[in-house]
Structure 1
Amino acid sequence: MHETTLNRRQWIAASGALAAAAWSAPKLAMAAEPIANRTSPHFKLSLAAYSYRKLLQGNKPELTLADFINDCAKMQLDGTELTSYYFPPNVTTEQLLALKHQAFLLGLSVSGTAVGNDFGHPAGEEREKQIAGVKTWIDNAAVLTAPVIRIFAGHDKKGVAADESHRLMVEGMQEVCDYAGTKGVFLALENHGGPTSTAEGLLKLVKDVDSPWFGVNLDTGNFHSDDIYGELAQVAPYALNVQVKVVVSGPDKKKVPTDFARIAKILRDANYRGFVVLEYEEEADPREECPKYIETLREALA
């Protein structure tokens, strides 16, 4: 009996060793290259809470994030993007879990969140504050099970040389990406003016941050060159998240309707797989306009 037991134990140990040897974690792709292994496109629809900003902010907001989540469910969306700006300043875990609970019961994923940050500040209190704020929201995103956070690079500061500004931004993003990886949260750099106002400038930053938890938040309304759609196509292979505006504008800043069919083609050609998030910024009532644009987007991506 003792020999049989021992042999069984030896067999279990040996089996475990073989299984461990046979399995190894998949190699994590680095953000410096287009995202690999996307063999076909797949789109999920979400709405950014930023679309409801006029209703969610102020001393007496008209709506709460819970109301926004309800509206997302009514639009038959797959996700809801809960922008950090509309949470209480010191949001609690209980408050985060309540929204996660609500979203899940309504069949929604928390598709992501977004923070405001600026890593262009030189060493000092303000820079540390910016880094700490992003880390706090990485923790919050992990509680929400939000897979990605939209971040900014920041802005060049007076008296800081361009190469030093680039270094500051890269180092800031590197630090928060290293932390995000420990929480299983992706960080997505948005094309949002300054050094990220062009596809070339954006990708220069992306390629200098060495993290498999880093990529791009592709905002369709934030390039203003003579070749807006060409720049979007350059960046799309790096996209972790896509936010679609309803207008675009070139160097003359004149707004023209977004070509949703062209956006859809760019994403298909890049084999983008993930959330496509409507971010409505125009003046009309978002509760009336967002459902209309969601349907337009749904048709374009079908």
Structure 2
Amino acid sequence: MNNPKHRREFLRQMALYTMGAGLLPSVLSACNTGSSTKESKDSTSTGQTPAASGAKELFFKISLAEWSFHQALFSGKLNHLDFPVKAKTDFGIEAVEYVNQFFKDKAKDKAYLADLKKRCSDNGVRSVLIMCDGEGEMGDQDAKKRLQAVENHYKWVEAAEFLGCHAIRVNAAGEGKPEDVAKAVEESLAKLSDFASTHNINVIVENHGGSSSNGKWLAAVMKNVNKPNCGTLPDFGNFCLNRTKPEANTPEAWAKTKCLEEYDRYQGVTELMPYAKGVSAKTHDFDANGNCVETDYARILKIVKDANYTGHIGIEYEGSKLSEEEGIRKTLELLKRVGAELS
């Protein structure tokens, strides 16, 4: 996740440090894997990726998270509308995961969304989900602010439905004691999930800093919410519970921070997989054999498989030693190689 996400932190308040913020601070028995109608549709969609020509298909499908191109997008070298086609033509990936930051003012712009949808349709690309940040804290202790945060996500639920996604990803952030934040998050998720159910959309929560990077905490939240369209998005890397404070609220400054306390990623993924409706394959660095330095992919993908997960695993490269394109390719090759060994 530690390699938490810059996108969330430089949009949200620094106060999460009081609960032990991760790089991108920002919840678990009825939320079964792929239990909703939309998720079932997602599991049977196109995009199943063979390990190699003529080889059997992987047990999961591969998607590309837009955050992998955050540098290119923030710099203007890549336009959000061009992302799906780039995923298909440059990497052969037929499913994409959007980040709302890159079309922040377009959630209700039907002409813009229709253009995006047509580009996907024309190129055989599936829109999987929208990662939502900067819309307020679901665990805010102020009831009015908490309700506003929930309602701020409604437009993204509607946009996700229009684009053909199966889910929106939200954050379980809030200030205060973990138990108080959990109670507030559970209330928010229940309300948002009820709204999303009328649009056939799942609400999924990522381990994304602070208490949400504690697998046991987030799994308990999911269990208490107890909604069939509410689940998790386990990220292989976002398990930092406490991080040094950045000198500035910029991606570069966050990249220089260090994790002071980290939750065991293998334990965390194991705890979150029973509720998973998506999985994020985080990578930063690779060794000479193409293996991820920070995460044992053979071990962590086995955890995913043992949970009987067959949905999309989204590539999310966040490293700095390789270019974004090279990092994406390395992650894709790693997923295919290890996935083939387990399939």
TM-score between the two structures when normalised by the length of structure 1: 0.79
Give the deviation of 1:247 after TM superposition.
4.3
Give the structure 1 partner of residue 63 of structure 2.
Answer: 46
- Specify which of 328, 331, 339 is matched with residue 293 of structure 1: 331
Report whether the alignment pairs 1:170 with 2:186.
Answer: yes
Matched residue type, 2:328? C
- Specify which of 107, 113, 125 is matched with residue 96 of structure 1: 113
Matched residue type, 2:121? F
Report which stretch shifted further, 192-201 or 124-133.
Answer: 124-133
Give the structure 1 partner of residue 223 of structure 2.
Answer: 207
- Specify which of 125, 128, 147 is matched with residue 128 of structure 1: 147
Unmatched 5+ stretches in structure 2: 1-28, 44-57, 241-261, 286-291
1:81-124, CA deviations, whole angstroms, 9 ceiling, x for partnerless residues?
11111004144011112111111221111011110141122335
Instruction: Judge conservation of contact 1:156–1:194 (CA < 8 Å) in 2.
Output: no
Instruction: Judge conservation of contact 1:35–1:237 (CA < 8 Å) in 2.
Output: no
Instruction: Judge conservation of contact 2:280–2:313 (CA < 8 Å) in 1.
Output: yes
Report whether the alignment pairs 1:273 with 2:292.
Answer: no
Give the structure 2 partner of residue 84 of structure 1.
Answer: 100
Note closer, same or farther for the CA distance 1:48–1:285 as it changes in structure 2 (3 Å cut): same
Instruction: Judge conservation of contact 1:199–1:231 (CA < 8 Å) in 2.
Output: yes
Note closer, same or farther for the CA distance 1:227–1:164 as it changes in structure 2 (3 Å cut): closer
Inter-partner Cα distance in structure 2 for 1:131 and 1:35:
23
Inter-partner Cα distance in structure 1 for 2:33 and 2:102:
32
Give the deviation of 1:223 after TM superposition.
2.3
Give the deviation of 1:42 after TM superposition.
3.1
Structure having the higher Rg = 1
Inter-partner Cα distance in structure 1 for 2:333 and 2:34:
28
Matched residue type, 2:99? T
Instruction: Judge conservation of contact 1:278–1:294 (CA < 8 Å) in 2.
Output: yes
Report whether the alignment pairs 1:218 with 2:255.
Answer: no
Report which stretch shifted further, 81-90 or 134-143.
Answer: 81-90
Report which stretch shifted further, 83-92 or 273-282.
Answer: 83-92
Instruction: Judge conservation of contact 2:73–2:79 (CA < 8 Å) in 1.
Output: yes
Inter-partner Cα distance in structure 2 for 1:267 and 1:88:
32
Structure number with the bigger relative contact order (C-alpha 8 A, sep ≥ 6) is 2
Give the structure 2 partner of residue 244 of structure 1.
Answer: 281
1:226-281, CA deviations, whole angstroms, 9 ceiling, x for partnerless residues?
64213212322221000011149xxxxxx943222222211211110100001111
Inter-partner Cα distance in structure 1 for 2:104 and 2:239:
32
What secondary structure sits across from 1:43 in the alignment? Answer: strand
Inter-partner Cα distance in structure 2 for 1:292 and 1:203:
31
Note closer, same or farther for the CA distance 1:223–1:98 as it changes in structure 2 (3 Å cut): same
Inter-partner Cα distance in structure 1 for 2:73 and 2:263:
35
Report whether the alignment pairs 1:30 with 2:45.
Answer: no
Instruction: Judge conservation of contact 2:106–2:112 (CA < 8 Å) in 1.
Output: no
Note closer, same or farther for the CA distance 1:202–1:73 as it changes in structure 2 (3 Å cut): same
- Specify which of 103, 118, 122 is matched with residue 137 of structure 2: 118
Instruction: Judge conservation of contact 1:119–1:173 (CA < 8 Å) in 2.
Output: yes
Note closer, same or farther for the CA distance 1:270–1:167 as it changes in structure 2 (3 Å cut): same
1:164-214, CA deviations, whole angstroms, 9 ceiling, x for partnerless residues?
332211111111000000000001111112222221111111111131111
Instruction: Judge conservation of contact 2:222–2:231 (CA < 8 Å) in 1.
Output: yes
What secondary structure sits across from 2:305 in the alignment? Answer: helix
Unmatched 5+ stretches in structure 1: 1-28, 249-254
Note closer, same or farther for the CA distance 1:79–1:102 as it changes in structure 2 (3 Å cut): same
Give the structure 2 partner of residue 154 of structure 1.
Answer: 173
Percent of aligned pairs sharing the same letter: 27
